[in-house]
A and B are shown apart, each in its own frame.
Chain A
Amino acid sequence: MGIEEHLGNNVLTTSLEKLVDWARKNSLWPATFGLACCAIEMIVVAANRWDIARFGMEAFRASPRQSDLMIVAGTVTKKMAPAVVRIYEQMTEPKWVIAMGACASSGGIFRSYAVVQGIDQYIPVDVYVPGCPPRPEGLLYGILKLHEKILKDPFLTQKYRDQIVPAGRKHEHGH
């Protein structure tokens, strides 16, 4: 898990840790994960009016290996869920997840046979952004909250992440 493993958790590394966190939060690279309507608002956030480049995030990487943030924007259907989990697992540590919109947070208005009632059934989520779709400012607020989270307690985010077993994982295919 990067630099923490090599240096351990002692006083001398505090300022280095702060520097690393600051660097991480200022250059989060999102993975392109627009699924449905929320993707439109996500694209708009990256466009001229609500410029996400001010936060260092304009580089939406198509490859999960090169990204640290997965913004699940849109409805996750049961057909799509295995792909979401696979992309999440392919992302390298440290990684964070924002569930954007009502559908990703809890299934939204779609309570039907084909929709997963929230992506947190399969992967751990750091920030939930409500809305249908959330305004671009809403997504930016969620991203800023994530920045706060990254700065506040980075070890917590990573250390306890493995202990969170989302409900859906027990039944998922192949694991």
Chain B
Amino acid sequence: MNSAELASGTETMLLNLGPQHPSTHGVLRVWLELDGEVIVNADPDIGYLHRGIEKMCENRTYHQCLPLTDRLDYLAGTANNFGFVLAVEKLLGVEVPKRAQYIRVLMAELTRISSHLFWLGTHGHDLGAMTPLFFAFREREQLMDLFEMAWGGRLFPCYFRIGGLAADLPEGFIEKAWEFVKVFPSKMKDYHNLLTKNRIWIARTRDVGVMTKDEAIAWGWSGPMSRGSGVDWDIRRDTPYSSYEDFDFDIPLGSNGDTYDRYLVRMEEMVQSNRICHQALEKMPAGEVNVHDPNIILPPKDKVYNNIEALINHFLLIEKGLTPPKGEVYHAIEAPKGEMGFFIISDGSPHPFRMKVRGPSFINLSPTKVLAKGRLLSDLIALIGTMDIVLADVDR
């Protein structure tokens, strides 16, 4: 540094935030150029969790890709499965029975609530509010118990199958789900009491990370990020999939496009998801959960043990995998973080020729440079929290 800069105090400091840092929600590194506390330049450096999932999927059968998709947005495993399974079903040209569609919607919305609860806890924790974490996790643990009943694990479902579900809902699930759904709206009051009118919270989040409607669309924002800026877009309502058109729900919209608005949007989304779960449980149709297609769905176990054709069918499906026709599809769903899209190119073989995952967190993180410029360092932490990034979704 030269003496003139030293004398006038205009030298900027290079600070490295992460990749090991309590507030970066994982392994995110941000190269910061600071002038005192004010950020002059912020350059996110990602790739610390790049595991090569897209490459691995090219060497696996379609069903073998399912557990890999679980690990994309690890807070909302069902959403990733949902997107993938719907994309492959689009490729195959099949539609699953109504009961399977309703169960998928139920699981997807419960997962949305669970993902938003985690966001609430950690976002609050980053900005100094430690109590919402414990309140939010209380409800999240109830959801984890529910999930464990249905799919045996807490985080990674792998419950959906191409052509239906792994199994129908277990006994007692509907009753337990009703318990949660009926009580949850009253718990929302607890969270609102802690944060919504809290002066410190408002001071930390008002006017931080403001994006106008047009900017949000230009930057590729989707989900609660774009709805916080007033973009009236929800894939579940506008291009419905899996019977979402049967459900009645509102889309909360923000007006300022700042962190506080996005907080309110996500809080209201939890209430609306609960509403969808309520309707799904009420109107749950009876019936099968898998399509009747021996090329896609494994035959039932009792047939496999007693019937030679079913045994061979089972063997071939597991060993070789299902073979969709040649083609290219793109299917997007409304994941908790935004638009999650799967672009699958099939060359007629049992392995996807190319599988591209459009991760919402990757795009939600991209305007950080622009949003953080000129703000204080503590605003950057609020920004990263509001983007609700999951690094496995960013890096894949």
| A positions within 8 Å CB-CB of B | 31-37, 39-41, 43-44, 47-49, 60, 62, 74-75, 77, 79-80, 83, 87, 109-115, 132-133, 135
Contacts and interface: CB of A to CB of B under 8 A. Distances in A.
B22 A115 contact: no
A-B CB proximity, top 6 nearest: A112-B52, A37-B74, A47-B137, A80-B48, A62-B22, A110-B51
Nearest to B137: A47
Contacts of B44: none
B134 interface: yes
Contacts of B296: none
A48 B137 contact: yes
Contacts of A114: 50-52
B200 interface: no
B49 A80 contact: yes
Contacts of B367: none
Interface of B: 19-22, 26-27, 47-53, 55-56, 67-68, 71, 74-75, 118, 121-122, 133-134, 137-138, 141, 154-156, 391-392
B138 A48 contact: yes
A40 B50 CA distance: 18
A79 B50 contact: yes
Contacts of B74: 36-37, 40
- Scoring B20, B68, B141, B155 by chain A CB atoms within 10 A of each residue's CB, the highest score goes to B20
A75 B51 contact: yes
Contacts of A112: 51-53, 55-56
Given A33-B20, A49-B137, A80 B55 contact: no
Contacts of A41: 154-155
B134 A83 contact: no
Contacts of B71: 36-37, 109
B118 A47 contact: no
Given A34-B26, A48-B138, A80-B19, A132 B75 contact: no
Contacts of B118: 40
A37 to B, nearest CB: 4
A37 B19 contact: no
B259 to A, nearest CB: 22
Contact of B52 (A35, A83, A110): A110
Given A32-B22, A80-B19, A112-B55, A135 B154 contact: yes
B352 to A, nearest CB: 15
Contacts, number: 91
Contact of B20 (A32, A109, A133, A135): A32
B156 A36 contact: no
Nearest to A47: B137
A80 to B, nearest CB: 4
A75 B21 CA distance: 16
A87 B77 CA distance: 30
B155 A77 contact: no
Given A32-B22, A115-B51, A37 B134 contact: no
A39 B20 CA distance: 12
25 contacts: A36-B26, A36-B27, A36-B74, A36-B391, A37-B71, A37-B155, A37-B392, A40-B74, A40-B75, A40-B155, A48-B138, A48-B141, A49-B138, A62-B22, A75-B49, A77-B49, A79-B47, A79-B50, A80-B27, A109-B67, A112-B51, A113-B55, A114-B50, A114-B51, A115-B52
A108 B141 CA distance: 25
Contacts of B21: 32, 62
Contacts of B49: 35-36, 74-75, 77, 80
B392 A36 contact: yes
Nearest to B395: A77
Nearest to B45: A79
A129 B137 CA distance: 23
A111 B138 CA distance: 36
A49 B138 CA distance: 8
Given A36-B49, A60-B22, A80-B27, 20 more contacts: A31-B20, A32-B20, A34-B26, A35-B48, A35-B49, A36-B392, A37-B392, A39-B26, A43-B122, A47-B137, A48-B138, A74-B49, A77-B47, A83-B27, A83-B48, A110-B52, A112-B55, A115-B51, A115-B52, A135-B154
B131 to A, nearest CB: 11
Contacts of B19: 80, 83
B111 to A, nearest CB: 13
A172 B304 CA distance: 52
Contacts of A47: 121, 133-134, 137
A57 to B, nearest CB: 15
Contacts of A34: 26
B348 to A, nearest CB: 25
A44 B122 CA distance: 11
A91 to B, nearest CB: 12
Nearest to A87: B20
